[in-house]
Structure 1
Amino acid sequence: MSEVSLRVARLTDAAAIRQIYSYYVQNTAITCEVTVPTVEEITGRMKKTLQHYPYLVAELDGQVVGFAYIGPANPREAYQWTVETSIYVDRECRGHRIGTRLYDALEELCRRMHFVNMTAHIVYPHDDQPDHYLTLASPKFHEYYGYKLAGRFDRNVYKFDKWYDMIWMEKSIADHAQAPVAPLDFADVADDFFAK
């Protein structure tokens, strides 16, 4: 079986990322977007993220089969130690632990960058029952990795003619120090991380 490899995303990956993401936009309630972003929009998002944060892709047999990135949970300065995570895997490539590899890399990078809290904002069925557009895979994945439920918002998301809740899950990955070290930029840790 081929091995999954990770690397920093390149702007030239935007089309492949769009291909993976388009399935989730068009066929699931996992993302709150209802229109697939253009390659140009994805490229712009990647540029913005990579200014300070990791944006990773997973490759299998030379093809991009997943992507993951973090961003600020809130742009205001006092939130700077808390990030929000996003991970998407090609639906045809499940079973290769791609999501696991991407998540492990993001968490290690977050530690090296001196972040303290990782969060995930997850669409959740209002009646707690999965449906054609939304399973419970994402909250279960995050729970497996030690995330705890931090809050639930009642019917915040409307997609496919149905209301869904939004849950926030969080994980502390470092001590909540009295004087936390300022977070580093991704560029400050990327070379050492990928040299391992």
Structure 2
Amino acid sequence: MNEPVYTYRLATTDDAEALQAIYAPYVDTSITFECTCPDVEEFRKRIEERVCLYPYIVCEEDGVPVGYAYASRLFTREAYAWAVELSVYLSNTCRGRGLGRALYDRLLKLLEMQGVRSAHGKVTEPNEKSDKLHLAMGFRLVGVMDNVGFKLG
């Protein structure tokens, strides 16, 4: 059996449909605080808005998107432009293969070249896999926000 071939590239708005399909299952979990899955057109708009400021990377397996990661502003005021929030999403079929780390590695290198000073991952607890990924990549806990999101009962 051949090992899958993964390639990484910058996202374009043409990826909206594939990336929305990867994201959709997460809406039924507490991993995202979004309660309704955005449609493809909204996804396209979000990609377009984000790529103007920060990297948005797609991982493909044999030419098919199986994951993506992007950075977005941590806060809206201008002085916060050098602090970002990271997001990574993987297809259900590709979890546990190191792709989240590979996407983060590439994203963080590009952000460093852009002069970004700090990158943050917001994790809904409990989420052992995400905690392990962030700790393994050198992130540290900087705070806990209690009772800020209510979803799934």
Please tell me the TM-score bracket, short chain as reference.
over 0.9
User: Which residue in 2 is equivalent to 1:89?
Assistant: 90
Alignment-derived partner of residue 105 in structure 1: 106
Based on CA coordinates, which of the two structures has the bigger radius of gyration? 1
- Alignment TM-score, normalising by the size of structure 1: 0.74
Deviation string for 1:119-144 (max 9, x for gaps)?
1111114xxxxxxxxx3211221011
Contact 1:4 1:96 in 2 (8 A): no
- The residue number in structure 2 matching 1:128 is none
* Cα offset, 1:96, TM superposition: 2.9
Q: Which runs of 5+ in 2 are unaligned?
A: none
Larger strand percent: 1
Number of equivalenced pairs? 151
Match of 1:131 in 2: none
The answer to whether residue 21 in structure 2 is matched with residue 29 in structure 1 is no
Preserved CA contact (<8 Å) 1:25 1:34:
yes
Letter in 2 for 1:48: E
| Corresponding residue to 2:21 among 12, 19, 22 | 19
Shift of 1:44: 0.5
| Contact 1:123 1:157 (8 Å CA) reproduced | no
Partners of 2:5 and 2:62 lie apart in 1 by: 8
Deviations 1:128-173 (A, max 9, x none): xxxxxxx321122101111111110112111110xxxxxxxxxxxx
Q: RMSD of the alignment, in Å? A: 1.1
Identity value in percent: 38
* 8 A contact 1:68–1:86 mirrored in 2: yes
**Hey, which of these two has a bigger chunk of helix by percent?**
2
SS for the counterpart of 1:7 is: strand
1:2 to 2:4 alignment: yes
CA shift at 1:76, angstroms?
1.0
Give, in whole Å, the separation in 1 of the partners of 2:116 and 2:95.
Answer: 29
- Secondary structure (helix, strand or coil) at the match of 2:123 reads strand
Instruction: Determine if contact 2:22/2:91 at 8 Å carries over to the other structure.
Output: yes
TM-score (norm 2): 0.94
Residues 135-174 of structure 1: pairs in structure 2 closer than 5 A: 135-161=127-153
Unaligned segments of structure 1, at least 5 residues? 126-134, 162-196
Change (3 A) 1:104 1:64: same
Residue of structure 1 in register with 2:56 after alignment:
55
